[in-house]
Amino acid sequence: MRKSLVAGNWKMNGNKSSINSLMDGLVNGLNSNVEAMGSVDVLVCPPAVYLQQVADKVSTSSIKVGVQNVSEYESGAYTGELSLAMLADFNCDYVIVGHSERRSLFGETDAQVAEKCQAALEAGVIPVLCVGETLEQRDSGQALAVVEAQIDAVLKCCGIASFSKLVVAYEPVWAIGTGRTATPEQAQEVHGAIRAVLAAADAEVSASVRILYGGSVNAVNAAELFSQPDIDGGLVGGASLKVDDFLAICSAAAAA
Ligand code: PGA
């Protein structure tokens, strides 16, 4: 049995005051419903400058904290980057790796994403490895091939055993921030294909890896998405900034 995970990707949003209210709402909401929420892991990924603030807030809850990106390098002349060693000072358990915005806006390649996964795993931080096709790729029938190649790059660099320690997030680029969610069937098809690629290398690892869906997940569509056999929760952008919506998505995952 795979435990569901709901991860909030706040992206470049929030300030001290809004983050205080958001975290108070989440901690209270989850703590007042501990029994039902026991079957879901909840993760928030704030902008890194707010890590300490968020770490302080989660100390009375089971919420985990992650960041949205990390350098593949240990230290040195990499202006603007954050290292895994720095994250260790903040009880940071997860890092989002290879989000489509990092790939498209900041030029991250499959190979670099794989190196970031490797570095995170070596540091004991759980990568949330994002994969997904663009609309053009889907329309030309390449969705599965693109996603499989993205998975393959990490398999080659890190090996199949690494997938027992990471989380995969399938996020079709055309569904991110657009309000246009993949249908549960479209998402399930790709999730099933990812699991099949991993199963060809190791059936046990494949059966245990959590594969999240991301792309316009909201309080209304979450339950149906999470009811699919190979969808183990969600990576949530916009709706993770609203207490009630995010809690509703967590409840949907807990009930799935
Ligand atoms: P969205 O973002 O939920 O706002 O579509 C998801 C993501 O980018 O992780």
- Which residue among 67, 102, 217, 221 has the greatest number of ligand 1 atoms within 8 angstroms of its CB, and so is best to mutate? 217
Distance CA 149, CA 135 (A): 17
Calculate the CA dihedral of residues 214, 216, 220, 224 and round it to 10 degrees: -40
Strand partners, 138: none
pLDDT for residue 87: 95
Domain CATH for 64: 3.20.20.70
pLDDT for residue 179: 87
Nearest atom (ligand 1) to Cα of 100: 8
Residues spanned by the domain of 79: 4-255
Look up tokens 């909201």; give the residue.
Answer: 218
Beta strands in 80-155 (DSSP E): 94-97, 126-131
Find how far residue 167's CA is from the centre of its chain. 7
N- to C-terminal Cα distance for the chain? 12
pTM of the model: 0.97
**In sequence order, what DSSP letters do the residues of 25-53 get, joined into one string?**
HHHHHHHTTHHHHTTEEEEEE--GGGHHH
Is 9 touching ligand 1 by the criterion CB < 6 Å? yes
In the 8-state DSSP scheme, what is residue 237?
S
Per-residue pLDDT of 237-255, as tens digits, reads 999 999 999 999 999 999 9
Per-residue pLDDT of 178-204, as tens digits, reads 989 999 999 999 999 999 999 999 999
Per-residue pLDDT of 10-30, as tens digits, reads 999 999 999 999 999 999 999
Is 240 touching ligand 1 by the criterion CB < 6 Å? no
- Return the percentage of the chain with pLDDT > 70, whole number: 100
Give distance in angstroms: CA of 148 to centre of ligand 1.
21
Report how many domains make up the chain. 1
Give distance in angstroms: CA of 131 to centre of ligand 1.
13
For the question of residue 191 being annotated catalytic, the response is: no
